[in-house]
Structure 1
């Protein structure tokens, strides 16, 4: 049997206020004054001087504000890569992503494509990247996606929603500063936190489960339980624990895989543009058949924070639209195999998926 030789993030800083150390982290990685650092920053911070004033720009460094209303797309990566190539005299010193999962994924993808040829869509899949990526740093400003630690960058392409899964995808450096999560709206905080919780449930109940993924998944699940169910945490404790839950949840699926909720939410996202976190929640709410205990706890967490999920998303879809969604979802073979075993196609049929989508 061949085991995964999994690449982990080699350097990580954790601590409240650690964002102020970014300059000293980047300085040794600066090639020269003509090789800029490119900062991809969630545009929610465009007028936030507290954040932008701490971004250590020098020489020809650029800050590019990224709109995050939609999920990241392969052609968005291509546009960014072309812009960076056209505006820099030299290959950049590195790419720094500051934001949520969308910005993390874009930063990883841009770092890969700056040293690769062709279009981003050519690399959607497993182990298609052949060249080492540019130095890249992830700085999450919301907790839950696990994008800061994973070997994938989830992108919607012209034909499919699928990550660039490769050994060159993980960040070279991650900076975890829980203070950066101040002011996240409650519903977004919940949906993204539940992305982490769902990672744990799917990993811990999957056929790919092993002691490595189990140890991280159990810890992440425990931390999510403390934040979203037990209560009695201060805001600081909640921020710190959820940031670590996100890290552990990402590590759990790194050595196993996610499952039904993620596979089906990719279909929603591809067809309807549903954001990843809320899409996972909408799907997971109907998956008692697959994850009875996990869904029961999810419903309690949802009630505790008064979260109302959208309904009727699929009410007016045509047969063709259902087929598109189902095809995207069924294309996520490793996720289905993890959830249901090697013979997953015996039980996961287009009719089965349609009946589930119709509930949403």
Structure 2
């Protein structure tokens, strides 16, 4: 087999407790005028105010937009940059969860290239570099600090939409696990389950034909040697620390490992992409208005079971990286054990077990299957092909909580 590897990442990634205090020095290298995007909750914290004061003490002029909303409504981006344009920022800093970092990317995009946000929906529509973005996550799950994607909600579209371009990758990802200590158990669980789903799907995506144009013409190129490294790293860290972080948010080691696992998962799926679990979540999320991480995690065991017959080696590796003993077990038994361990972990941290429990109505199964199948960039990444019949059966299995039925 010819070795193929590819990876797109920020210019620098800084990780560790207390590293948020490096923000002024990092920002100073990019200019003197910083536009900061965050949400109302985090803006009211002493931690955020201290960060802003430190930027100003370092000589930077700072303009703060503190009204970022969940899922980044399209028109909120226009409101965000209205005050920023006259400020003439030299960088955009996103501080918060995935929506805050995605808002920073969208703001930097429109401030750099103008036009309407919908002009850039899809892949590779961003014409060139954007203002430097510093991404400072306060949750551990989305991986947005290192990915080439911004997800927004558009009132004219049923499903959320993505803007995908290497130009959207932050210049610096500044990751301080101390910023996650105040995350409540429920949010810690959902965000961490989102990260584990990213890692599993990145590791089991289809392997593409590695010709010389693949990496130049696609944002997401499937699994390869480098993305596999980060996916396995993410699963190892999350497998041993996510449950601990949910049960005891003051566990500093667990918090650090979960955030590093989320970062590693972002490094993996930002190049490899994700697959069917994410495709199903888009219509499910639109109908049930449940958190993205909760939706993808609910679906993941069913998608893993569907994919099992074509990904035995990968699932067996996942079982080992999750710490399961392989003595006396066949490769197939280890692969099945990986799915069982994901089910166990998700149940232990409170992840919903079925789409019915998420609130999906039975009469929406067909629509959900049709919509999910139409998201080509995700469906084409799935290691086992899906048609409407198999997708319908998969959604039905996830709806009824029947794991065995998703094997098909």
Which interval holds the TM-score relative to the shorter structure?
0.7 to 0.9
2:201 maps to 1:187 = no
1:17 maps to 18
State the shift of 1:74 in Å: 2.4
Change (3 A) 1:110 1:294: farther
Instruction: Please point out which of 112, 128, 138 is paired with 2:135.
Output: 138
2:374 maps to 1:331 = yes
2:118 maps to 1:121 = yes
RMSD: 2.9
Instruction: Please point out which of 327, 334, 349 is paired with 1:305.
Output: 349
1:152 maps to 149
263-272 vs 100-109, which moves further: 263-272
1:268 maps to 284
For structure 1, which runs of at least 5 residues remain unmatched after alignment?
none
Q: What pairs up with 1:196-215 in 2 under 5 angstroms?
A: 196-208=195-207, 209-215=223-229
In the alignment, the residues of structure 2 paired with residue 138 and residue 184 of structure 1 have an alpha-carbon distance, to the nearest angstrom, of: 18
Contact 1:71–1:276 under 8 Å retained in 2: no
The structure where helix makes up a greater share of residues is: 2
1:355 maps to 396
In the alignment, the residues of structure 2 paired with residue 214 and residue 6 of structure 1 have an alpha-carbon distance, to the nearest angstrom, of: 11
267-276 vs 116-125, which moves further: 267-276
Instruction: Please point out which of 386, 394, 408 is paired with 1:344.
Output: 386
TM-score between the two structures when normalised by the length of structure 1: 0.86
Q: What pairs up with 1:175-324 in 2 under 5 angstroms?
A: 175-208=174-207, 209-228=223-242, 235-287=251-303, 288-290=305-307, 293-306=337-350, 311-316=356-361, 323=367
Q: What pairs up with 1:55-74 in 2 under 5 angstroms?
A: 55=52, 56-57=55-56, 61-68=62-69, 70-74=70-74
Q: How many matched pairs?
A: 347
TM-score between the two structures when normalised by the length of structure 2: 0.76
2:97 maps to 1:97 = no
CA deviation string 1:219-260 (max 9, x = no partner): 111111111358999711111111211111111112312112
State the shift of 1:52 in Å: 1.6
CA deviation string 1:246-297 (max 9, x = no partner): 1111111123121121111111223333221112123225443336555422
Contact 1:39–1:62 under 8 Å retained in 2: yes
Contact 1:45–1:52 under 8 Å retained in 2: no
2:47 maps to 50
Contact 1:286–1:359 under 8 Å retained in 2: no
2:404 maps to none
Contact 2:68–2:103 under 8 Å retained in 1: no
State the shift of 1:105 in Å: 1.2
In the alignment, the residues of structure 1 paired with residue 226 and residue 6 of structure 2 have an alpha-carbon distance, to the nearest angstrom, of: 13
State the shift of 1:81 in Å: 2.3
State the shift of 1:309 in Å: 5.9
For structure 2, which runs of at least 5 residues remain unmatched after alignment?
208-222, 309-335, 402-408
1:26 maps to 27
In the alignment, the residues of structure 1 paired with residue 261 and residue 297 of structure 2 have an alpha-carbon distance, to the nearest angstrom, of: 17
Secondary structure of 1:339 counterpart: coil
Change (3 A) 1:265 1:346: closer
Change (3 A) 1:309 1:104: farther
